[in-house]
Amino acid sequence: MLGWPQGAVVARVHRGGASLAFTAPIDQLLTATEVNEWAWNSLVFETGAGIDDFDWQRAPGHPAAWDAASAHATLLRHAHAERNPALLALVAEARRRGLNLLVDDTVSIGSGTGVLQWPCAALPAPHAIDWHACHDIPVALVTGSNGKTTTVRLLATMARAHGWTTAHSCMGTNLALPGVGSLLAGRTVGYAQAALTLTAFVLTMLFGVKFLVWYLTHWSVINSPEADPVETLLSVWRQVRWALLGMGVFAVAWLWAMVTSVSILRQARRSEASVKPPKLS
């Protein structure tokens, strides 16, 4: 239909309905989602099951379930627009060299300190890449609907018990919740960082709300032409100072957690360079 290589198709019926899965070229994954939706819509249209209550995709660009020829033309346009020969060339070369290749917002080849990355819209030709600078480290991909975080934490605990340095998600978690990422990476300093974060949250929220209420109830006095500017500023300062202190405490906790995250990542990179872990089978 779309000129894709023949691949596996899996249809699984379950108590809540049915699931359809099939393989598609790596540069046609968005088109594949349209094919999947079209298959489901077509089934509903052909069988008439729940057709009156079905939420049809009528927006321009969606394949029409009631017109196979039109749907085919729409999907071909999707496939042609998404096609990326440069990506396919990199996939083939990375596979030939036995290197991991991942596609997200960027395309990356290799992993750890040996990773090379490019934007999807600016991929180099295979001959333009310094392949000697690219290498892999053992990678385990954890996927699924539930249990991913628990599984990763269990694996990190096992790795630490084995003597390896772990740094799973410490930077990203510390960005939002200073101290939590440090604790996930097994650093006890995270308790102090988390305590500072909690203190900052309580001060900022409690006194911030108090200041907001005070400001709204004293709006006319604060903005009165007869008000003394110096006295007004002093009054505002007395009301807002604890909330500002909370914000300052959070800034300290955040910076401290970032320093810890950088230290963890540097240690992980040193461990990666000095220790060659066994290949995963």
For 48-86, how does the pLDDT look when each residue is reduced to its tens digit (9 = 90+)? 765 566 566 565 678 887 788 888 888 899 989 989 999
pLDDT in tens, 203-239: 999 999 999 999 898 888 888 888 888 888 898 899 9
Sign of the Cα pseudo-torsion (197, 202, 203, 207, in order): positive
Any idea what DSSP says for residue 127? G
With the C-alpha atoms ordered 40, 41, 44, 46, is the resulting torsion angle positive or negative? negative
142 vs 265: which has the higher pLDDT: 142
Q: Within the chain, what is the greatest distance between any pair of CA atoms?
A: 82
Cα–Cα distance, 22 to 214 (Å, whole number): 61
- Counted residue by residue, the chain has a size of 281
Nearest to 79 by CA among 123, 125, 31, 113: 31
Query: Are 172 and 242 contained in the same domain?
Result: yes
Range of the domain at 183: 167-274
20 and 89 belong to one structural domain: no
Q: What is the domain count for the chain?
A: 3
pLDDT of amino acid 57: 58
The answer to whether residue 258 is domain-embedded is yes
Average pLDDT, the chain: 84
Res 191: pLDDT: 93
The answer to whether residue 149 sits within a structural domain is no
